């Protein structure tokens, strides 16, 4: 199970990422769009095995989480384990917002995975969790076709799709 604090993208960026998902799915590359129909294109600010959405919301009370941030998706990347993603270029504004969110989560007793903490986080929009090895190069080429992509964050939520949690922030 995975829970995350997800930042949601504006309509145009969401449409473009969903178009990418459909193209890859049609080529036999499973994406978040076909995983279980619950995912929206997003960038996760924090993740853990579980996150109590009410505890997180209380920790973040009074902070506008993500809304209005401009994200520049400029490159494609791969994590070990066949995970494909669109990379978000780090800006001072994004770095400061991420730090602020994590300070509040930590102070509120919300534990997150270390690799999502400030200084270690690689901001990204996941495309696929399991690209077949022979398909990675064609999948990356397909991702590059939609880049660069500029997105405005329009909302945020604590999401845990395995447990049907989508708690807006």
pLDDT at 150: 98
For residue 15, count other CB atoms closer than 10 A to its CB: 12
Q: Which residues lie closer than 8 Å to 61 by C-beta, 6 or more apart?
A: none
pLDDT at 35: 80
Low-confidence ranges of the chain (pLDDT < 70): 1
pLDDT in tens, 19-64: 999 999 999 999 999 987 789 999 999 999 999 999 999 999 999 9
- Sketch the domain layout of the chain as residue ranges: 3-168
pLDDT at 67: 96
Please list the helix, strand and coil fractions of the chain in percent, rounded to the nearest 5, in that order: 35, 30, 35
Q: Which CATH architecture has domain 3-168?
A: Alpha-Beta Complex (3.90)
């Amino acid at each position: 199970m995975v829970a995350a604090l997800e930042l949601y993208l504006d309509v145009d960026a969401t449409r473009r990422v969903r178009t990418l998902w459909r193209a890859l799915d049609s080529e036999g590359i499973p994406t978040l769009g076909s995983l279980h129909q619950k995912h929206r294109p997003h960038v996760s600010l924090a993740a853990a095995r579980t996150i109590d959405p009410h505890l997180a919301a209380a920790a973040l009370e009074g902070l506008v989480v993500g809304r209005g941030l401009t994200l520049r998706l400029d490159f494609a990347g791969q994590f070990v384990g066949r995970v494909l993603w669109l990379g978000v270029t780090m800006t001072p504004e994004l770095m400061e917002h991420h730090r602020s969110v994590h300070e509040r989560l930590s102070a509120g007793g919300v534990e997150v995975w270390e690799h999502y903490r400030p200084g270690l986080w690689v901001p990204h929009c996941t495309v696929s969790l399991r690209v077949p090895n022979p398909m990675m190069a064609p999948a990356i080429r397909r991702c590059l076709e939609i880049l660069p992509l500029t997105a405005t964050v329009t909302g945020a939520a604590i999401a845990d799709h395995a447990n049907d949690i989508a708690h807006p922030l």
